[in-house]
Amino acid sequence: MVQIQAISYYLPKQVLTNETLADLYPEWSAEKFAETTGIEKRHIAGENETAGDLAEQAAYRLFDEHQIKPDTVDFILMATQAPDYFLPATTCLLQDRLGIPKTAGALDVNLGCSAYIYGLALAKGLIVARIARNVLLLMADTPSKHVHPMDKSARPIFGDGAAATLVTAGEHERIGEFILGTDGSGYDKLIVPAGGMRLPRSAQTNQVVTDSSGNSRSLDNLFMDGNEVFNFTIDVVPQLVKEVLHKNDLTLEQIDLFVFHQANKFMLNFLRKLIRIPAEKFYVNMADIGNTASATIPIALRCAQEDGVLKPGMTVLLAGFGVGLSWGATILRWNT
């Protein structure tokens, strides 16, 4: 039996507001950014602040807020697409920095928007297989370090942040069955083309080009084909919801709260209406946070709990989708 015991999150102190963006992109107003994306401000990591640093702070908050002792953790999982190093894994560094026992396993996962679902699946598998009892699941990303400052198609959407979740063995099954999927043929729809072994960074990859829409970026920066990502989402997510409900023997009406990857306001509203989810059951909290990639779902869960929207006894459907292209969903029976 597996459950979520606690969730905490951390956001960098630096804030990027719509007003600042409007100064950079005169053709857009602060109000237009808010209307289009649903975001009014986003938190940005400092120049020397990494995803590993954000994850560390989220873990400290988890330990402090929920009186969890680091020496009880016997496995660390971290999902990020901004590791501190190519090698070693960032979780290896965090084991030492957080004071977690050397007997704990540590593993990084290179995944973004669907990563929390995959992370929960991996944590549940480790516990069911009796490899671990207390899994520290970390989600941390710094998309701002990938986005070119003058790419107005991406910069207004993304923020940096991290979340820490303790997944534990328990008396009751609180994490349900999973649906996971991948379509790697769409890998280039959301990508940082240069920087890996396929295309190492160079003077050539750092050359900035401005596209027909006025967005500037180089091959070292994140590229997002917004139309293709949107089409992928509306094709995949309704079926994903249908399949995860069926696998867990539930109906749409039996779900008390839906928490999706916090991509952007337009996409989420479109999906909600397409799937016919009542507005009062659909949680959105990106206005002051932005799209933090792997961390959006656990941050939303904690915020929903703090807002009094998420209460013990509720049945919650989680769905993540995006870079990969990748998707996943599961059901939580909330008990914290």
Active site residues: 113, 261, 291
Q: 90-98 and 51-66 are packed helices; what angle lies between their axes, rounded to 10 degrees?
A: 40
**Which residues on neighbouring strands pair with residue 107, listed in sequence order?**
77
- Going from the C-alpha of 290 to that of each of 9, 251, 325, the distances in angstroms are 14, 30, 20
d(Cα 101, Cα 318) in Å, to the nearest integer? Answer: 31
Q: 296-306 and 115-128 are packed helices; what angle lies between their axes, rounded to 10 degrees?
A: 90
The DSSP result for 197-264, as a single string, is SSS---TTTT--EE-TTS-EE-TTS-EE-HHHHHHHHHHHHHHHHHHHHHHTT--GGG-SEEEE----
- Going from the C-alpha of 278 to that of each of 252, 282, 300, the distances in angstroms are 10, 7, 18
d(Cα 75, Cα 136) in Å, to the nearest integer? Answer: 6
d(Cα 310, Cα 307) in Å, to the nearest integer? Answer: 8
- Alpha-helical (H) ranges within the chain are 18-24, 30-37, 51-66, 90-98, 115-128, 226-247, 265-275, 296-306
CA angle, residues 111, 113, 116, in degrees to nearest 5: 75
A 10 A CB-CB count for 121 gives: 17
